[in-house]
């Protein structure tokens, strides 16, 4: 099942590359994802990390937690031509444990990780505005990787501002929808990231690589 999952997703090689980077460079901290949906990408990030830890001669002496945020209610109030209200509350593609047309829940994602025999993730359910504030007020670690799959400008802006205190040199930002909205740099994740960069001149974002169809990676460097 793990092999089939890795082969089925065009993003997995990118996740392997990021795992090699943060582990080789000893960027401590946890793996965050915003927009868990069915848990596929969060599981793939963990599989990429485990692959490095188990097979590479360059060992690390710290562990990572995998933390995902989602309302499990789907998207709302987006002007993207394909994204309708409630989209992503129901699974619409192949998945090892969640059938097509099946409602996605936190419990089903946790079960998915259990079936794969992966480390149990921390899944924070609820609207980002409330769940982020509640979780991060007690969080004391740093972020090694932040995978943003929140689709919209408003959510991405909130995520970036909320996670900024947990950035460090080497934190990798992964944007799953950087080139949606027909590549318009003022909309969606791209627009929010552009405005965030203009506001926070104390941070530099190294252009790392593009991957899959709509995705892009950056490395954070504090000036």
Instruction: Give per-residue pLDDT as tens, 81-123.
Output: 777 776 789 999 999 999 999 999 999 999 999 999 999 999 9
| Helix, strand counts (H, E) of the chain | 7, 7
Report the 10 Å Cβ neighbour count for 127.
Answer: 13
Model pLDDT, residue 84 = 74
pLDDT single digits (tens) 42-53: 999 999 999 999
Average pLDDT, the chain: 95
CA distances from 58 to 2, 26, 48, 87 (A): 24, 10, 15, 41
pLDDT of 79 reads: 78
CA–CA distance, 53 with 35 (Å, rounded to integer):
26
What pLDDT is attached to residue 82? 79
> Domain 2-222 maps to which CATH number in 3.40.190.10, 3.40.50.11540, 3.40.50.150, 3.30.70.890?
3.40.50.150
155: nearest Cα among 181, 193, 206? 193
For residue 61, the tally of other CB atoms under 10 A from its CB is 6
Tokens of 188: 């969606």
pLDDT at 211: 98
Q: What is the pTM of this model?
A: 0.96
pLDDT of amino acid 78: 77
């Amino acid at each position: 099942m793990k092999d089939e999952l890795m082969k089925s997703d065009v993003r997995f090689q990118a996740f392997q590359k990021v795992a090699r980077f943060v582990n080789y460079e000893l960027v401590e901290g946890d793996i965050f994802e915003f927009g868990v949906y069915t848990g596929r990408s969060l599981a793939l990030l963990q599989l990429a990390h485990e692959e490095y830890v188990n097979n590479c001669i360059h060992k690390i002496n710290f562990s990572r937690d995998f933390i995902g945020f989602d309302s499990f209610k789907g998207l709302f109030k987006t002007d993207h031509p394909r994204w309708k209200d409630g989209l992503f509350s129901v699974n619409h593609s192949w998945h090892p444990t969640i059938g097509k047309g099946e409602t996605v829940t936190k419990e089903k994602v946790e079960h998915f990780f259990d079936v794969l025999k992966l480390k149990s993730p921390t899944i924070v359910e609820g609207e980002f505005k409330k769940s982020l504030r509640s979780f991060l007020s007690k969080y004391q670690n740093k972020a090694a990787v932040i995978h943003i799959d929140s689709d919209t400008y408003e959510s991405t802006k909130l995520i970036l501002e909320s996670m900024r205190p947990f950035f460090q040199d080497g934190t990798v930002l992964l944007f799953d929808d950087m080139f949606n909205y027909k590549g318009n740099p003022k909309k969606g994740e791209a627009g929010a990231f552009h405005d965030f960069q203009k506001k926070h001149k104390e941070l530099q974002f190294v252009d790392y690589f593009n991957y899959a169809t709509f995705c892009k990676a950056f490395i954070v460097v504090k000036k």
